[in-house]
């Protein structure tokens, strides 16, 4: 039974898309990492709680197939602010978040980081 569970999780990992805009924050990459940790011995991995494993798989399948999005369709694909899904994806991209974080820094701190030979984390030590 562990072999079939392992193959189901592998199939799910293959189908799950990877978003390049969310480097180090992507659910698909995190899922692949967790499956690799959970099934270290591949098909021969002993499963301590098969019911919890099956429940986790079913939950991930529902997320992947947009089960609840299809079950409860929305009238509009915007938020109360009028922002669309595409706009939200763009805002949540790693590059944009990095730019916003840089904008929050004060002028003095940016200049100090630019001309400093050591990293700002070393200043805190």
Q: What is the pLDDT of residues 2-53, one digit of tens each?
A: 788 889 999 999 998 877 777 777 888 889 999 999 888 888 888 888 899 9
Long-range contacts, 7-15 (Cβ 8 Å, 24+): 7/43, 8/57, 9/35, 9/38, 9/39, 9/57, 10/35, 12/57, 12/60, 12/61, 12/64, 15/64
Mean pLDDT, residues 82-101 taken together: 72
For the chain, the domains span 1-73, 76-118
């Amino acid at each position: 039974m562990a072999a079939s569970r392992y193959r189901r999780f592998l199939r799910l990992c293959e189908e799950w898309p990877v978003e390049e805009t969310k480097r180090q924050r992507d659910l698909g990459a995190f899922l692949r990492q967790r499956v690799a940790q959970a099934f270290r011995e591949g098909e021969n991995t002993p499963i301590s709680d098969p019911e919890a494993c099956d429940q986790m798989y079913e939950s991930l399948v529902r997320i992947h197939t947009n089960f609840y999005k299809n079950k409860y369709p929305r009238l509009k694909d915007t938020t109360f602010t009028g922002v669309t899904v595409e706009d939200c994806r763009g805002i949540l991209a790693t590059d944009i978040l990095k730019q916003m974080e840089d904008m929050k820094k004060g002028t003095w701190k940016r200049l100090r980081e630019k001309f400093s030979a050591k990293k700002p984390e070393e200043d805190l030590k």
